[in-house]
Every structure is written in structure tokens, then in C-alpha cells.
Amino acid sequence: MIQEPPPPPPVPPLPVAGIDFESGVVDGDVASYLEELVFEELLASVGLESAEGLLIELVGPHLRIAGNVQIGYHRRLSDFINNHEGLMKLHDARVLRRNGDPTKVTAASIWVSPAEVTLIGQESEPEASGADPAFVTPKRVSQLIVVTPGHTITGEVHLNLEATVAAFIESPDPFWVPMTDVRTRSLADRRVISRYDFALLNRRHIVAATELQPGMIRGRAVL
């Protein structure tokens, strides 16, 4: 009697970028790919609070990184960013997932192109500089709704009393717009919501913007 050969082992599915066949999760952010490219033996545990400087998050359409930036002689982060040219160096950097969870990918230093970053966020609003009140320009707060390639954003902008929201939005300067009480939602996954007390918005990433109208509720009617 002739025995039939055993059946061949099942062939695993071909890898497809962004798809985890075991979990069924489709994830399009860069963090998933970086963890696959970096060997665990080369990963180093980095304390994000160890380096001197400001702890910030850089948020783009598909990449999110936390780290420390040294602003040198500048008094404020906005002054440093708006006057900085070329790549920006982050210390004690860690790549984050789209929802802000940390990954295993860390670096003692990493250079990032600010032009590709949508938002630079801080968890706490910068402290007052202690300037003489006589030289502080009075400002009024306006609520903005902004759409970028990867997010919808609501937040406060602080305008001079004579300025209009339309002129502010149409102006090409400054490149980085200071905002407070910022709320972002990912367009790739609307469940991913982040909040920052202070953030700088890359004006070149603005696809659409409008003022929050009376009666519209942030976080409900907008996002």
C-alpha cells in the first residue's frame, strides 16, 4: 500500500506594510516600521528628563517624537523655533505611537526637519517672562479651528487688540503660530485625541482655518 506524502506546511502570508496579520491591526504611523528596523540589542533606555532643555513633542501626519530641545539664549520656545534654520536637534528622543504611547525606539540625539512637523507641543504653558507690565502689549483671545494634512486642531490664539482673525490667518508670518489650550484629533484615527497647554502650529501645514463661532462647543460640534 502506497502512503500519501504528508501535506505541505501552511505558507505564511506575505508581509504587507502596515498590517499585523496576527492582531489584525492596520497601523500607518512610522513608529511601527521603526521598531521593526531597529534591533532590540541596540536600543538604549533614555530618561527624557535627563537632558537640560525644554521637553517637547513633535507631531506630524505620520510621526510623533518626544525629546528635549535647548533654546540657548532665546527667552521662549517660539523665539527659538521662528528663528531657527535647518534641522532641529532633539536630545534624549523617543519615538511615540500615534496615540502618544512610547515605543522602544530611542536615541541620545536626533535631527528633525521642522518643515515636516505640524505641531510642537508642551504639556505645560510656559511661565511668564517677568517683563515689565508697562511694556506688555494687551491681547485678546480668539478660538480657532484648523485642519492640517493629519489632524483637526482647536485652540486659542492671542491677537493684538486691533488685529482681525482674517488678517492673522492670511498673514505668512510668523511661520509658527503660538496657541494655548490646544486639542488635536488624528484624521487617520479619530479616537486619537491629544491635548497641550501650549503648542506652536506650523502655518505652512494649515489646509483650512476658521474662527470658532458663538454657540459651537469645542470637542463636540467641532471635532
Residues 174, 86 share a domain = no
pLDDT in tens, 100-127: 999 989 999 999 999 999 999 998 766 6
Residue 154 sits in a domain of what CATH number?
2.30.30.100
Residues 159, 111 share a domain = no
| Domain enclosing residue 139, as ranges | 135-211
Q: State the cell numbers at 88.
A: 532641529
Residues 142, 111 share a domain = no
pTM of the shown model: 0.74
Please check whether residue 44 lies inside any domain of the structure: yes
Residues 23, 91 share a domain = yes
Please check whether residue 14 lies inside any domain of the structure: no
Nearest-angstrom CA–CA distance, 77 and 106: 23
Residues 157, 110 share a domain = no
Q: Which residue has the higher pLDDT, 211 or 14?
A: 211
Please check whether residue 182 lies inside any domain of the structure: yes
Give the pLDDT score at 207. 95
Q: State the cell numbers at 93.
A: 528622543
Last residue of a domain, one of 122, 149, 171: 122
Say how many domains are in the chain: 2
Q: Is the pLDDT of residue 15 over 60?
A: no
Strand partners, 106: 94
Please check whether residue 1 lies inside any domain of the structure: no
∠ Cα 79 84 87 (to 5°): 140
Residues 139, 81 share a domain = no
Residues 105, 147 share a domain = no
Please check whether residue 223 lies inside any domain of the structure: no
Please check whether residue 128 lies inside any domain of the structure: no
Report the first-to-last Cα separation within the chain, whole angstroms: 71
Residues 34, 117 share a domain = yes
Could you tell me which residues come within 8 angstroms of residue 172 by beta carbon, excluding any fewer than 6 positions away?
A: 203
What's the alpha-carbon Rg for the chain, to the nearest Å?
A: 22
Residues 167, 112 share a domain = no
Residues 115, 64 share a domain = yes
Return mean pLDDT, the chain.
79
Q: State the cell numbers at 57.
A: 513633542
pLDDT in tens, 136-171: 678 889 999 999 999 999 999 998 888 888 888 899
SS3 per residue for 51-95:
CCCEEEEEECCCCEEEEEECCCCCCCHHHHHHHCCCCEEEEEEEE
